[in-house]
Every structure is written in structure tokens, then in C-alpha cells.
Amino acid sequence: MQVNMREAKNQLSRLVQAALAGEEVVIANNGVPMVRLVKVGAPERRRAPGAWAALPRADADWDAPATNAAIADVLTGGDMS
């Protein structure tokens, strides 16, 4: 179905229902097709709370100076002094 802008403005609810039912709805301006009204697709995947709950917990000293120095040594390839 193709409707002009003024008709679309006055009958938006009906046009939305038509689009949801699978009908192609085109809105025109002075008879020239401008936009297509389409149903928005469902999200591909819903997020699940707690998805990371099974990951191992960090050690209590994860941010200790010795741990940071060891990481710096690995990343720089040697002693930082």
C-alpha cells in the first residue's frame, strides 16, 4: 500500500498495524515514494545476567606491587630498574 504524507499523518496507527501484519507500507510525498514503513526485527540474542559468574576470581594480591613488577618484566622483556 502507498499513502501520501498527509494520509499517513492522519492514519499512522492503522499503517503501523498493517506493517506489523507484514504488509508493505510506502509513504509518498506528492505521489513520489519517500520511505517504507517496516517492522523492527527482534534482537538477535537476549543478554543473560550472570554470564561471567563462572569465571575464576582474581587473587587477593592481583594489584600488589610485586605482581605489577612481574607483569612489567614480562611485557618489557626484562628488569625495569
Identity of the amino acid at 3:
V
Residue whose C-alpha is closest to residue 21's, from 10, 13, 29: 13
Q: pTM of the full predicted structure?
A: 0.49
77 domain-assigned: no
pLDDT tens for 9-62 read: 999 999 999 999 989 999 999 999 999 998 887 777 777 788 888 888 888 888
43 domain-assigned: no
47 domain-assigned: no
Please give the residue range of the domain that contains residue 15: 2-37
Q: 40: alpha, beta or left, given left = phi > 0 and alpha = psi -120 to 50?
A: beta
| Structural domains of the chain, count | 1
17 domain-assigned: yes
Supply 23's cell numbers. 504488509
- Contact at 8 Å (CB) between 13 and 6? no
- Contact at 8 Å (CB) between 33 and 21? no
75 domain-assigned: no
d(CA 1, CA 11): 13
Q: 32: which strand partners?
A: 29
